[in-house]
Amino acid sequence: MQKVRIDVQSEIGTLDAVLLHRPGAEVENMTPNNVQRALYSDILNLSIAQEEYSQLSGVLSSVSKVFEVTDLLSKVLDQWKPRADLIQRICLAEDAESYVDMLMAMNSSDLARVLVEGLPARVDTLTSFLRNEYYALYPLYNFYFTRDAAVTLGNSALICKMANKVRMRESLIMNAIYRYSGEFECDVIDVNALQLQSSPVIMEGGDIIIAREDILIIGNGVRTTSQGIDFIIDRLRGNFPKGHYTVLVQQLPSEPESFIHLDMVFTLLDRDKCMIFEPLISQSNQYQTVQITFDDGQVTGIRAVSGLLPALKSLGMDLKPVVCGGKDDWDQEREQWHSGANSFAFAPGKILTYARNIHTLEDLDRNGFEIVTASDVISGKAMSAITGNNPCAVTIAGSELPRGGGGPRCMTMPLSRRKVEW
């Protein structure tokens, strides 16, 4: 079996392989009492969310090879040592050591399901009774946002140390998948193994955007700290291309919660176009953009610059912004909240986005994007838009999926992209 060589050198290169996780029972294994702990703003209707997700996965299946998290996890769990290592790490991190033997005795498919959907707690001791916790291992409510737990950068997989403990298991599973599923060829950097849990080094994939082979953009906010950015740079600078390399850091607000990641306010659409939330990216505000320059891996300068788009222009990326929410301030805020800026490019000028954000779609249309539905792509009616030379925006239904707090980019982990001819 030929392995997929992890190779991601841009945000827009034609997608050859992608990792997804279809939302399952874990999404419904919550109540209004724990929805905040799950990092959601509302409870999802699973059946509708799955219908919407099928549109995303259906489009991606028509243009690339799709891997599924639970399938790969089962392959890992078929191997005794990786299974034991993963269960030990999870149970130690989540104070569930007494469940190790039970988990080790499960068959691989059942264990994969439990590690994602959650494990109900036994109430057989005074301590367990007084804890008053329904789960020994909580459901991974956010795992359908596969972008965050790991980052594919060049030929490496960076396993993230996430901001919230409720999501830590996602990173541990991703580490096991990249190392032991047998499907991938890559270097693996596991931040969790290199940092104490109390360390301020944290980062999540929604904050990390590969603009070009020589430009990396990182959001600095509640999910990715300055220490996390320093860690990324220190560990990866040896992989930077020889010569000149630039890291642009964009500070982000700590609230509202829809600003949790850079890709909620800025994504790349094409060689010369990007999607922005205008008030933060192109209007005067208090949030700095910092440019760090490297020559042959060594820092040669660090300074504040006038903004993300001017900085990219100075580096040869003159991007025309498409505005999330269009021209009206109210529409911009509403559609940013519903992940209107969180588009995913599966080829230059070919993107996935939510159908609900009509003002964003209108601005895409004004900027030359043909608007087509995922259903028409999957049925073959709109394949010409996908295969043609003109830009297109493929819309997926989004009444339930956005309630989890993310969009198409959040739900996709690119594994291999073709080189972009700039």
Q: What is the DSSP string of 324-381?
A: TTTT-HHHHHHHHHTTTT--EEEETTEEEEETT-HHHHHHHHHTTPEEEEHHHHHHTT
Flag whether 128 is in a domain: no
Residue 337 clears pLDDT 70, i.e. is over it = yes
Flag whether 119 is in a domain: no
pTM: 0.94
Question: What is the band of 32 on the pLDDT scale with cuts at 50, 70, 90?
Answer: low
> If you write DSSP's letter for every residue of 98-161 in order, what string do you get?
GGHHHHHHS-HHHHHHHHHH-EEPP--SHHHHHHT-SEEE---TTTT-TTTTEEEEBTEEEE--
Tell me the pLDDT of the chain averaged across its residues.
Answer: 93
Flag whether 95 is in a domain: no
What does the alpha-carbon distance between residue 237 and residue 298 come to, in Å, rounded to a whole number? 8
Average of per-residue pLDDT across 213-231: 96
Q: Which residue has the tokens 């841009």?
A: 10
Flag whether 291 is in a domain: yes
Flag whether 122 is in a domain: no
Beta-carbon neighbour count of residue 185 at 10 Å?
12
Flag whether 107 is in a domain: no
Residue 73 clears pLDDT 60, i.e. is over it = yes
Beta bridge partners of 295: 244, 298
**Which stretch of DSSP H or E encloses residue 67?**
strand 65-68
Who contacts 255 (Cβ-Cβ below 8 Å, separation ≥6)? Answer: none
Residue 40 clears pLDDT 60, i.e. is over it = no
**Phi, psi angle pair for 260, to nearest 5°:** -60, -30
Provide the 3-class DSSP secondary structure of residue 221. coil
Distances (CA, A) of 399 to 23, 30, 39: 15, 19, 18
Who contacts 71 (Cβ-Cβ below 8 Å, separation ≥6)? Answer: none
Average of per-residue pLDDT across 297-313: 95
Residue 41 has a pLDDT of 56
Average of per-residue pLDDT across 41-60: 91
**Which stretch of DSSP H or E encloses residue 238?**
none
> Which CATH number does the domain housing residue 176 bear?
3.75.10.10
Structure tokens given for 368: 């030359």
Which of 34-43, 62-71, 227-236, 276-285 comes out lowest in average pLDDT? 34-43
What does the alpha-carbon distance between residue 277 and residue 393 come to, in Å, rounded to a whole number? 18
Average of per-residue pLDDT across 327-332: 94
E strand intervals along 164-230: 184-185, 187-190, 208-212, 215-220
Average of per-residue pLDDT across 388-408: 94
pLDDT tens-digit series, residues 126-170: 877 777 788 999 999 999 999 999 999 999 999 999 999 889 999
Residue 127 has a pLDDT of 78
Flag whether 130 is in a domain: no
Residue type, 22: R
Residue type, 25: A
Provide the 3-class DSSP secondary structure of residue 316. coil
Residue 33 has a pLDDT of 58
Flag whether 127 is in a domain: no
Task: Return contacts of 233-239, CB within 8 angstroms, 24+ apart.
Answer: 233/292, 235/158, 235/189, 236/153, 236/154, 236/156, 236/158, 236/189, 237/294, 237/297, 238/297, 239/153, 239/154, 239/155, 239/156
Residue 232 clears pLDDT 80, i.e. is over it = yes
Who contacts 166 (Cβ-Cβ below 8 Å, separation ≥6)? Answer: 37, 38, 39, 138, 141, 142
Total of domains in the chain: 1
Tell which wins on pLDDT, 264 or 42.
264
Residue 296 belongs to domain spanning:
4-83+139-417
> If you write DSSP's letter for every residue of 278-313 in order, what string do you get?
HHHHTS--S--EEEEEEETTEEEEEEEES-HHHHHH
Residue 357 has a pLDDT of 98
